[in-house]
Chain A
Amino acid sequence: MSEPRRYRSDWRGAVQRLSADPRSVVAASVLLGLALLVAVGPMLAPHAPNAQLDITKLVHVPPSRAHLLGTDVYSRDVLARVLSGGRISLLFATSAVLVQTIVGTCVGLFAGLAGHRIDAIVMRGVDAGASVPRVLFLLALLAPLPHVPLWMLVLTVAFTGWFVTARLVRGEVRAIRTTEFVHAAHALGASRLRIAMRHLLPHVLGPVLVTSTLAVGHVIVLEAGLSWLGVGVQAPQASWGNIIADGTEFLSIAPWVSLAPGFCLVAVVLAASAFGDGLRDALAPGQLART
């Protein structure tokens, strides 16, 4: 009998391909670097983020040795604010994405395994949710209660974002459900729960991981936008969004206040997208791998 060819196993192979891809490595380093920076930065920064240093003399100081990113209208050090806001923004984005991924996966699994009728009903609801412009949806949800605690804000944002994941998971589950190896597990006597956990979920995990990584970029921008409008993270707590808001009024005279957090946002989204693309390539090699 012939010796079967040696291939790497699925997940290990994916990790190997990922670490061999320069784009993904750079992106991951950027993300980790940023995370580290915002984790320890605020403690190492020379100024406190909310401290008004000198309201008479240090308002709108352009970037200089003393203040690397300048100061804002309340004479607060912008760098310190950006670092502190970064913590909030990154934490917010990761937790919201975590919640929306879990919710979306559960709903998607449920709809995927259910009969035609229930599936149709659930998917109509999902379609409806996905059709509402997310920003408008959030405005409607947040309008009556502007000063919600942060965790509730996270949940609200997550609530508007699980639809895409649900659709994705449901599609994958429905496709895999009719494959022979699922029938085989059924014939062996596996319970539905076991089939879902052992056979369906591992197949679904890959695409879900990719979508979630990309979603981090979207959500961080979304939170920034909401904070900029005034319905997101509230003052005095800094978030990249409301720092930009602070600088909007004075855009022509002190552009650094609004520009700095924006560049940070761009960096995070770029890194998240690049890493997500790299993940996608690593998990499905040979499938339309276009650089």
Chain B
Amino acid sequence: MHALIQRIWHGFVVIALVATATFVLVRLAPGDPFAAALENARLTPALREQWRAAYGLDGSIGTQFAHWIASLARGDLGFSTSTNQPVSRAIAAALPNTLLLIGTSIVIAFMLGIWLGAVQAAGRGGIVDRCIGAITLIGNAVPDFWLALVMLLAGSYWLRLFPVGGVADLLLPLGASWPVLLLDRARHLVLPVLTMVILLVAPIARLQRTALLDRLGAEWVRTATAKGVARRTVFRRHAWRTALGPVVTMGGIALPSLFGGAVFIERVFAWPGMGRLAAEAVAARDYHLVVGCVLVGTVMVVIGSMLADHVSAWLDPRLTQDGFEPGRGLA
């Protein structure tokens, strides 16, 4: 319980620091936030002054900061000039798609990665181990945006199996039955998820392999085997649970890179998620939107890491000790 409170406090401090940092960034950005709107001839100086007052840009730094925090607490992240709506609304529309993408990928990648890692550990040194090892090695090395392009090329252009992008086929008849709609959604989901899964499976499988080998050699496992417990049972009951711990922890640590990877993958597949939103916002000089995405992304990461920490501590209490290195850490 006490650990949970500490973690929540920790997460809160992190978010507060990031919010402050983003405030500084927004203020430091050269030019008036309304510069993009300057081209609009209907924006008279008087009107501009009104807008500036409305956004608290005319006060001292202190009041501006207070204003910023207050609006964050309200959920008001500013106005997005490129999409002509409040930032929060733009993000709220996009975030679920990103979460769908990342969530599905995490689930599949974990199951696949853990299974592959276990297969490798069981057949250590053999041909299967080496093959899977080679694949995961490459999976670790390939750039996310490039892999997405390759997937697109192979899956959509060459094999013509999957749609070129987007979340759903807009041309489906409205009255189509739900299995058809679901299938359509699934087809659109395949390539982006496959890309992310390949990227995720590699480190998971490698870590799982190392963690399992580490534990299988551990004293207490050997004792169980010596006591006469069947090897499979030893594996399933004893080694399994603790080997999951570091993998889950790694998941927590890898979360930021997942959100980063989403930016590229969503762009390639025209997936309307927060990542693509951020990239487009940059191109459109919509600074408030960019900052909003950063903030929301960080909050997601913090929540995710806290969850991962909690779960992995439950799985293997040793991980809560300072300096304990489960298997070897990842890059």
Contact = CB atoms under 8 A, between A and B. Distances in A.
A and B touch in the complex (CB under 8 A): yes
B30 A290 contact: no
A145 B31 CA distance: 11
Given A136-B260, A225-B264, A262-B149, A231 B298 contact: no
Given A131-B302, A136-B263, A251 B141 contact: no
Contact of A252 (B157, B294, B302, B328): B157
Interface string B216-236: 000000000000000000000
Given A128-B17, A273-B137, A273-B331, A134 B142 contact: no
The SS class assigned to the A binding surface is helix
Nearest to B293: A136
Contacts of B145: 224-225, 228, 244
A127 B253 CA distance: 11
B257 A136 contact: no
Interface residues of B, number: 60
Contacts, number: 159
B305 interface: yes
Contact of B153 (A127, A133, A255): A255
Contacts of B264: 135, 225, 228-229
Nearest to B217: A288
Contact of A133 (B25, B210, B259): B259
A233 interface: no
B138 A225 contact: no
A139 B331 contact: no
Interface string A234-278: 000000000010001001100100110010011001100110100
Given A133-B256, A133-B257, A143 B322 contact: no
Interface stretch (B58-66, B170-178, B180-188, B276-284): B276-284
A280 B328 contact: yes
Given A131-B14, A132-B294, A143-B287, A244 B282 contact: no
A134 B256 CA distance: 7
A236 to B, nearest CB: 19
A160 B329 CA distance: 21
B327 interface: yes
A280 B331 CA distance: 11
A143 to B, nearest CB: 5
A211 B29 CA distance: 33
B256 A288 contact: no
Contact of B141 (A139, A143, A175, A273): A273
Contacts of A266: 138, 141-143, 146
Interface stretch (A11-19, A196-204, A213-221): A213-221
A262 B143 CA distance: 8
Can you list the 6 inter-chain pairs with the closest CB atoms, starting with the nearest? A135-B260, A269-B141, A128-B17, A214-B331, A133-B259, A262-B146
Interface of A: 124-125, 127-128, 130-137, 139-145, 171, 174-175, 211, 214-215, 217-218, 221, 224-225, 228-231, 244, 248, 251-252, 255, 258-259, 262, 265-266, 269-270, 273-274, 276, 280, 288, 290
